[in-house]
């Protein structure tokens, strides 16, 4: 992965004065909400959602482009406009549940606090952008410019959204940094002659080719490498995060999905090495070190969750239902951390144990 940590400096002499964010899939986890909507909507017409088909398309398209393809693919007795009119209320209801992706709130607050101009530029319509961010405190006030594809000549991959955002912020395109999750968004940033960081889902692997830097999640973003003020919120070797909750069946060091369990529908960006707390069949809360990785298999993203019980023998707590609350982030991982990496595991367990004694990482 072309991660920013591999660079001594990402801006290469170009001063970054403003940051432009995409919204869906970059700051907000609207993708999962969308899949629930599509499943429910298609059921009205006796159709079933084809997940393999959905994973391969439509990310970054405008609403009308996406609607036209959807109506055709599922042979719906609707025009694209009728489809949009019928399905929009379903989406509006789900947008209230769309959560900020890991690191999104942290990055927005940090840049705003340090006076860096921020813009939102999305292929969604402006009205929908406003509706989505209304559920997140302080987001609207954080962005001096909010643009939808209905406000420019054409959306991404054309450069107009990003060019207009820069113009309204009063910043030259060359001094803007774009943060995107989709290939069409990266293409648009390239066309606008802007630097671009991609935080793609697994299915957007094409981003690796055109982005200046590719990250697993926004938790990896290092502002100082772009000439922006650095974060100051790490506590020793761990970063306090908004809690991430998952559950499943714990079996000799790994967490497995159980029937009806949504643990592994976490967004692709929830990967890396974390610390947190686990609750098993007893009421006792256990300190844990957790690695979350994606199997890079064609067609789907399969999560691997490895759980190391810090003060308990892993073998002693096998085959039990487990609830996990991740409260701290340690680092990105390109491969799974396993118990065979004894030297590293001992080191990570040591400072995980100490960190979880601090108030910043207490069990909530």
Q: Distances from the Cα of 44 to the Cαs of 6, 47, 58, 262, 263, in angstroms?
A: 50, 7, 22, 24, 27
Q: In terms of C-beta density within 10 A (0-12 exposed, 13-18 middle, 19 or more buried), how is residue 363 classed?
A: middle
Catalytic residue at 22?
Answer: yes
Distant-in-sequence, close-in-space partners of 317: CB < 8 Å, separation ≥ 6: 250, 280, 286, 309
| Cross-strand pairs, 147 | 121
Give the active site residue among 22, 29, 181, 268: 22
Nearest 10 degrees: Cα torsion 19, 92, 270, 230: 20
Full DSSP string of 80-100 = HHHHHHHHHHHHHHHHTTPPB
Pairing verdict, β 213-214 and 285-297: unpaired
Give the active site residue among 24, 181, 212, 268: 24
- Computed from CA positions of residues 38, 44, 50, 53, in that sequence, does the dihedral angle turn out positive or negative? negative
**Whose CA is closest to 245, among 108, 139, 132, 102?**
102
Catalytic residue at 172?
Answer: no
> For the CA atoms of the chain, what is the radius of gyration?
21
SS3 content of the chain, % helix, strand, coil (to 5): 35, 25, 40
Q: Residues with catalytic annotation?
A: 22, 24
């Amino acid at each position: 992965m072309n991660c920013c940590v591999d660079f001594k400096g990402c801006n290469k002499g170009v001063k970054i004065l403003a940051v432009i964010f995409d919204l869906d899939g970059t700051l907000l986890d609207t993708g999962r909400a969308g899949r629930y909507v599509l499943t429910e909507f298609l059921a009205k017409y006796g159709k079933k959602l084809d997940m393999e088909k959905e994973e391969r398309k439509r990310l970054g398209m405008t609403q009308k482009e996406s609607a036209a393809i959807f109506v055709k693919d599922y042979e719906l007795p609707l025009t694209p406009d009728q489809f949009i009119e019928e399905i929009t209320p379903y989406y509006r209801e789900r947008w209230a549940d769309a959560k900020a992706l890991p690191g999104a709130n942290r990055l927005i607050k940090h840049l705003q606090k340090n006076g860096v101009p921020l813009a939102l530029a999305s292929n969604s319509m402006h009205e929908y952008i406003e509706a989505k961010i209304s559920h997140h405190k302080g987001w609207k006030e954080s962005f001096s410019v909010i643009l939808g594809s209905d406000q420019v000549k054409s959306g991404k991959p054309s450069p107009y959204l990003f060019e207009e955002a820069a113009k309204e912020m009063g910043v030259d395109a060359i001094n803007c940094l774009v943060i995107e999750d989709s290939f069409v968004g990266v293409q648009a940033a390239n066309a606008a002659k802007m630097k671009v960081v991609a935080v793609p889902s697994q299915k957007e692997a094409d981003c690796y080719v055109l982005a200046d830097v590719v990250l697993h999640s926004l938790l990896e973003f290092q502002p100082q490498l772009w000439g922006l003020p650095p974060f100051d919120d790490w506590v020793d070797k761990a970063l306090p995060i908004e809690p991430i909750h998952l559950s499943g069946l714990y079996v000799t060091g790994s967490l497995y999905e159980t029937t009806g369990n949504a643990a592994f529908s976490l967004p692709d960006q929830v990967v890396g090495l974390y610390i947190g707390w686990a609750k098993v069949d007893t009421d006792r809360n256990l300190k844990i070190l957790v690695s979350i990785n994606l199997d890079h298999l064609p067609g789907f993203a399969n999560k691997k969750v490895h759980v190391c019980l810090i003060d308990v023998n892993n073998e002693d707590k096998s085959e039990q239902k487990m609830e996990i609350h991740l409260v701290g982030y340690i680092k990105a991982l390109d491969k799974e951390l396993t118990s065979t990496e004894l030297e590293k595991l001992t080191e990570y367990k040591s400072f995980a144990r100490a960190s979880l004694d601090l108030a910043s990482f207490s069990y909530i």
